[in-house]
Amino acid sequence: MTPLSPASLASLPAAVRRPGHDIASVTTGIVHFGPGAFHRAHQAAYVDALLDSDPSWGIAAVSLRTPGTVDALKAQGGLYTLAVLDREPENRIIAAHSDAIGPGEGARLRTVLADPRIRIASSTVTEKGYCLGGDGALDLGHPDIVHDLARPAEPRSVIGWIVAGLDDRRAAGTAPFAMLCCDNMTGNGGKLRAACATLARHYDPGLADWIEGEVAFPDSMVDSITPASDEAFLAKVAADIGVADRAAVQRERFSQWVLQPFAGAPDLASVGVTLTSDVRGYERAKLRVLNGTHSSLAYIGLALGHETVFEGMSDPALAAFITRLAHDDILPSLPAIQGFDAPGYADAVLNRYRNPAIRHLLSQIAWDGSQKLPYRLLDTIGEALEAGRPVDRLAAPIAAWIAFLRRKTAAGETITDPLADTLSAASGNLDAMLALRQVFPARVAEDPRFRDALSRALAAFESGDLQAVLVI
């Protein structure tokens, strides 16, 4: 089958949405590390829209480890399909990438990073890709960082490449690029600045001071469900658009990018990016409203025999419970954010769960509960207790989690969690569970209001009287 390329655009079906800009006029203004599916479905889609009015912000896609994506982009002239999964699906051709750099092209990457036309470097390499320790600081013992400390001219880590690029620009008297982390880490800009400065200080304290004082590291938050691009999906895209596309990606229609303003940034607000000095507020809203209801839906939905998020939200009683949980219990824990419609955001989250085109397994969301629940629900519970608000509904998903652990343990099934053995041993005794300070803060675990609410909900799950929970 003919591959997707600039030459094949004219042959695509009329329903396929084409780029709104002249592909040949685009120049590179952004270097992006980690051009995986999320970047191509999310940030690149925003930039693609930006290029319609300002073609100087094309993206150079950089993969330091694997050549597959950059090779596909090179073969397709930077083009690929974004399939929007919704009740009314859409295929859109993205033409945001003006260059692609893969493993073994370090010399060219160094040259591109030094180019004054590059005003932003960005990254989506997952949290572990930044070589940070458990305290959020740079792990100087990480093998990639050890390598970069010994051979700074031949970096291996993303942090090493950022520092090398900034070092070259400082030496040349060129203004630094802004460094934009697009991975979901709280305070991601500050963490990345600190990591880069720590590495630089081992080479040149003056460089570290310059990075800390002159380089913008704005905080950001991103959100959009992006399923993997498996062979079945790629075959469907080929059938839909009539050409082969090895770089195609898919995501839900909902997309959110919240960004701290910084000097020299393009007009991202014009393409739907939310610019705010309170990124942390949006992060908290996402963590509690979206992630908190997601975990609640997972554990209670599994107890009811549901398999996916869509199935769970198709259960009227469960959907009504989750709606009350979001609006009546979680939203009161959020401080006001200027320009942010909290009830509207909660409704948008719940509507996303009703998307029939997204098959999101509850069993997968239920993984790693000990790591997620303290931030997704227990912080909210702690604040509700301090404020004198009821916690009966908030205790129900915690009870559902404990019941989930008990079922797994009784069946001899694997519990996917870093504390799996500890949880399995403690789950049969409520006092033992509440004594786990890795999960339950003392202010919550020792409060009789929470303990009573949790005991009642757990008894309902154990007896199978789930309606007693859903009517709370």
Q: Which of 277, 294, 324 is the last residue of a domain?
A: 277
Distance separating alpha carbons of residues 114 and 112, to the nearest angstrom: 5
Which pLDDT score is estimated for 134?
Answer: 84
Which pLDDT score is estimated for 184?
Answer: 87
329, 335, 340, 346: CA torsion to nearest 10: -10
Same domain, 454 and 334: yes
Q: pLDDT under 50 in the chain at which residues?
A: none
Q: Which of 153, 138, 165, 159 is nearest to 30 (CA)?
A: 165
Same domain, 390 and 327: yes
Q: Which of 242, 277, 312 is the last residue of a domain?
A: 277
Same domain, 14 and 138: yes
Q: What is the CATH number of the domain that holds 400?
A: 1.10.1040.10
Same domain, 177 and 157: yes
The tally of domains found in the chain comes to 2
Distance separating alpha carbons of residues 246 and 235, to the nearest angstrom: 9
Distance separating alpha carbons of residues 450 and 438, to the nearest angstrom: 18
Same domain, 284 and 217: no
Same domain, 284 and 271: no
Distance separating alpha carbons of residues 326 and 220, to the nearest angstrom: 24
Same domain, 212 and 253: yes
Same domain, 287 and 407: yes
Tell me the two tokens of residue 471: 């009517």
pTM comes to 0.92
Which pLDDT score is estimated for 326?
Answer: 98
Q: What is the CATH number of the domain that holds 105?
A: 3.40.50.720
Percentage of the chain beyond pLDDT 90 is 98
Tracing tokens 């999101």 back to the chain, one arrives at 360
Tell me the two tokens of residue 64: 């330091």
With respect to residue 137, please indicate whether it lies within any of the assigned structural domains: yes
Q: Which of 277, 302, 330 is the last residue of a domain?
A: 277
Distance separating alpha carbons of residues 283 and 15, to the nearest angstrom: 36
With respect to residue 1, please indicate whether it lies within any of the assigned structural domains: no
Same domain, 284 and 432: yes
- For 28, 62, 155, 171, 331, the CA distances from 110, given in Å and listed in that order, are 14, 11, 10, 13, 47
- The region that residue 34 occupies, defined by phi over 0 for left and psi between -120 and 50 for alpha, beta otherwise, is left
Q: What are the pLDDT digits (tens) for 381-438?
A: 999 999 999 999 999 999 999 999 999 999 999 999 999 999 999 999 999 999 999 9
Tell me the two tokens of residue 33: 């590390």
Q: Amino acid letter at 72?
A: A
Give me the domain span that covers residue 375. Answer: 280-470
Distance separating alpha carbons of residues 353 and 374, to the nearest angstrom: 22
